[in-house]
Amino acid sequence: MKTEIAVIGGGAAGFVGAITAGRAGKKVVILERKERVLKKLLITGNGRCNITNIGASISNYFGENINSVNNILDRFTPEHTLDFFQELGIMCNEEKRGKIYPMSGQASSVVDSLRFEAEKIGIEIKTEFYVRKIEKKNSGFRIYSEDKREIEADKVILATGGKSYPELGSNGSGFEIAEKLGHTITELIPSIVQLKVEKCQVKGLQGIKVDTTVTAYGNGKKICTYNGELLFTDYGISGNVIFNISYVFPLYKNIEFEIDFMPKFNYNELYVILQKRKEILSHLTMEQFFNGMINKKLGQFLSKMSGIEKLSKPVNSLNDSELKKLCTILKKYKVTILETTGFKNAQVTAGGVSLNEINTETLESRKVKGLYFAGEILDVYGECGGYNLQWAWASGYTAGKNAGK
């Protein structure tokens, strides 16, 4: 089979790249290793598909030489994304923190709109086509599948994703292909993922959910703060606040989180509350001191972590120093981040094909003429909240536009 443009990877970036090139009149084929395309897109936003973030800018993205792709994000903005999908029949709503979702509340509607558009403009989609090797041949490429099929293409867009959620298609094989074609792959680290902490810092708290404010510190310096639900697990911490803030893990060493379990009150207000509780609950022990204030088990755990060894201690025996320690641990409970739970649970891969080897005006390789890159395979990743899909759309558009010239 011969085609003008072969897009390797039937994900978000690959589809927009294919559609953009197809609209330019090029013969395009999408090669997807799984039995269905856009499988990862189906689960984004808890199945609702957080299409983009209206406030997305270069400050929300990370990677070596990240500022070199600012022009790509400027060229295809969140407003362009909304226009693109509106033309496909997708109407959207803006929610908290600038997150944009389809009004249908279904990721499947976004998936269908991309498939329908690809079919309309004549893009061929080959599923269960596992690309294992790409060879540069004269002015074009020869693509080999695992089951020995071959396709010739004038140009290639490599949009195979990262290593996150490998069961959905992005198993890291694109990095091997890029490396064999002479490209450097920066360190690959899971991001937007649950985090492991010291066992003693969460022992016995598994399953407890609490609304918190979490501040991240890296190498002793404050990085960022997020609000949201925190979930304690047997390995550490999860929940939406952790997904939001976990992007810092690949960026710093010696990561520590400071958890505020009482974000509605400042320290002085909380201290007055604890003094009052000492008065009204003087007939109880520390086992019941936090009853009705925070999760009972969490309150007992924090009491012990503050230095109160026995929960049989009478509330009326609390001294001023102990009240202050309780106040501090409620407002500034520190946990040390050890590692992530791995690519299997990660939404995004930090690291990828080095931007130093890419023409960041066109996303064409500086090493292999006619080879373009789009999406998560590049050394670009964003915060949680629609930013990574915006990068997929923007980079897919840039690769497709330039490959389609």
* pLDDT tens by residue, 250-259: 999 899 999 9
What are the residues facing 136 on neighbouring strands? Answer: 141
Residue 137, judged by CB atoms within 10 A of its CB (0-12, 13-18, 19+), counts as exposed
* CB-CB contact of 31 with 126 (8 Å): yes
pLDDT, one tens digit per residue, over 146-191 is 999 999 999 999 999 999 998 888 999 999 999 999 999 999 999 9
Query: Looking at residue 118, what is its pLDDT?
Result: 98
What's the mean per-residue pLDDT of the chain?
97
- Cα distance between residue 84 and residue 397, in whole Å: 10
**pLDDT surpasses 90 at 293:** yes
**pLDDT surpasses 90 at 340:** yes
Residue 242: which H helix or E strand, with range?
Answer: helix 240-245
Could you say which DSSP state residue 120 is in? H
pLDDT, one tens digit per residue, over 60-96 is 999 999 999 999 999 999 999 999 999 999 999 999 9
Q: Residue for token digits 């010696």?
A: 254
pLDDT, one tens digit per residue, over 14-33 is 999 999 999 999 999 999 99
* CB-CB contact of 229 with 211 (8 Å): yes
Homologous superfamily (CATH) for 2-190+349-403: FAD/NAD(P)-binding domain (3.50.50.60)
User: What six digits make up the tokens of 165?
Assistant: 């959620």
- Cα distance between residue 118 and residue 111, in whole Å: 11
Tell me the domain boundaries of the chain: 2-190+349-403, 194-341
pTM above the 0.85 mark?
yes
Would you call 61 helix, strand, or coil by DSSP? strand
* CB-CB contact of 394 with 57 (8 Å): no
